Amino acid sequence: MLYHLFTWLKNEFNLPGSGLFQFLTFRIAMAVLLSLLIATVYGKRIIIYLQKKQIGESVRDLGLEGQMQKKGTPTMGGIIILLSIFIPTLLFANLDKVYIRLMILCTVWLGIIGFLDDLLKIRARKAAQQKGEAYKKKDSDGLAGISKIIGQIGLGIIIGATLYFSNAVTVEREVIGTTYQKQAEEKFAKDSTIFSRNIDGVEKRYVTVKTPITTIPFVKNHEFNYSKLISWIGSGAEKYTWIVYIFIVTLIITAVSNGANLTDGLDGLAAGVSAIIGIGIGLFVYVSGNYKFADYLNIMYIPNLGELSIFVAAFVGACIGFLWYNAYPAQVFMGDTGSLALGGIIASLAIIVRKELLIPIFCGIFLVENLSVIIQVSYFKYTKKKYGEGRRVFLMSPLHHHYQKRGYHENKIAIRFWIITVLLVIASIATLKMR
């Protein structure tokens, strides 16, 4: 909003200083600062409000050290994260850009799903207390699992359909050699447009691409067209690419969102991991949204993407600011209100910047947390059916609880998972030149 206001003031009255809002770097810095301010200063007020309303965490005794001390700690702190992302984005971003609108939708959509899940759990606990019964946390207390999945699928369909069909979503790639027209026609199909651009005194030819392509890490000719997945069907199969693309987008958003939700089990773990991942994605967004950096790194330039750096800056600031109260010993938990949104935001950003194939690397912690639960449950069911008693691969799942059972302090586990995420993000960034 401030961006649009100062743009109008500059155009209409040439107000001194109003041109400052035209600089992306200034607005990125302001977004980070404001998100940190909201999370740390106003976050405390939200925590006090949650305490007054007795919106606290219910804890089952699972034999984990220090676990029962968390009982009654305010939950639904994800509201702090969502506000710290939402407000700076509204104030400093250009709201006309399709990517900004998509990420605002993603934040609000998953935030509402998580909020409803937390709210239903809290109501179940209070109902048990009014009856004078001991509250026993059950999966059925919150939003039904199928309802959450349907909500995530709905968001995936909207994001996938927008990215596929919107005319505002394109990428640009340099076409090398004298056969650029033929390359454009063969590689990118009929929706390609050829044009020239002068970069540092060198005239280069580019093609504007509407076809859904993504980046393959570690490969020199590193672009993959989703239409190739169904090319085996025969001539004309490419017109059904949208089905495959939307399905893959939906699958990624659902998987990463649930992975972040499972990771949110220790003080500061999910917020710290998400902040580190956000910094890595922010770098991808910035270089892919700048045609000079994109040309130097030989990656696809995505027009209008640079504006998304403001959203990413607010996201990182919100996660770091939330750690002020969520680091061990936590004064507030994010709950599903925050964790579902964090994962969905990370997945959506990776898809928009065409780096979704890097998700298994920079979201490695989310991946192993997901896999640990799948392996544990599958093996337990298999052994129970075969031997009459269920056996376990891990002492407890998700994986961070396995290490708790082995005697590691939760703070040490969280920090080591942060360090691993730093290494994974650096490895992902290295793929920009490692081809």
Highest mean pLDDT, choosing among 46-50, 70-74, 271-275: 271-275
Q: Tell me which DSSP letter residue 39 carries.
A: I
For residues 324, 328, 330, 334, the Cα torsion angle rounded to the nearest 10 degrees is: 70
Q: How confident is the model at residue 270 (pLDDT cuts 50, 70, 90)?
A: very high
- pLDDT over 60 (residue 35): yes
Q: Is residue 387 part of a domain?
A: no
Q: Is residue 421 part of a domain?
A: no
Cis peptide before 398 (omega within 30 of 0): yes
A 10 A CB-CB count for 324 gives: 17
- pLDDT over 90 (residue 19): no
Query: Whole-angstrom Cα distance, residue 401 to residue 253?
Result: 24
Structural domain range at position 346: 2-170+210-356
* 137 Rama class: left (phi>0) / alpha (psi -120 to 50) / beta: beta
Structural domains in the chain (count): 1
Q: Which two tokens stand for residue 226?
A: 């989703």
A 10 A CB-CB count for 376 gives: 20
- CA 273, 301, 3 angle in degrees (round to 5)? 70
* pLDDT per position as a tens digit, 196-244: 777 777 888 788 888 788 988 877 767 888 988 888 887 777 888 999 9
Query: Whole-angstrom Cα distance, residue 69 to residue 151?
Result: 33
Helix (H) or strand (E) holding 168: none
Nearest Cα residue to 144 out of 174, 124, 162, 166: 124
Q: Is residue 216 part of a domain?
A: yes
CA distances to 163, 278, 412 from 152, in Å: 16, 20, 32
Query: Whole-angstrom Cα distance, residue 305 to residue 308?
Result: 5
3-state secondary structure of 221: coil
Q: How confident is the model at residue 66 (pLDDT cuts 50, 70, 90)?
A: low
- pLDDT over 60 (residue 138): no
First to last CA, the chain: 41
- CA 197, 351, 95 angle in degrees (round to 5)? 70
- Round the average pLDDT of the chain to a whole number and report it: 87
3-state secondary structure of 204: strand
Highest mean pLDDT, choosing among 16-25, 41-50, 203-212: 41-50
- CA 21, 22, 28 angle in degrees (round to 5)? 65
Please say whether the beta carbons of 414 and 263 come within 8 A.
no
Please say whether the beta carbons of 359 and 347 come within 8 A.
yes
Q: How confident is the model at residue 85 (pLDDT cuts 50, 70, 90)?
A: very high
Q: Is residue 409 part of a domain?
A: no
Q: pLDDT above 70 covers what percent of the chain?
A: 90
Nearest Cα residue to 282 out of 264, 307, 257, 301: 307
Q: How confident is the model at residue 185 (pLDDT cuts 50, 70, 90)?
A: very low
Please say whether the beta carbons of 39 and 321 come within 8 A.
yes
Q: Tell me which DSSP letter residue 41 carries.
A: I
Please say whether the beta carbons of 358 and 366 come within 8 A.
no
Q: Is residue 308 part of a domain?
A: yes
Nearest Cα residue to 348 out of 277, 300, 430, 291: 277
Query: Whole-angstrom Cα distance, residue 107 to residue 159?
Result: 12
- pLDDT over 50 (residue 179): no
Q: Is residue 159 part of a domain?
A: yes
Q: How confident is the model at residue 161 (pLDDT cuts 50, 70, 90)?
A: very high
Q: Is residue 102 part of a domain?
A: yes
Q: Is residue 366 part of a domain?
A: no
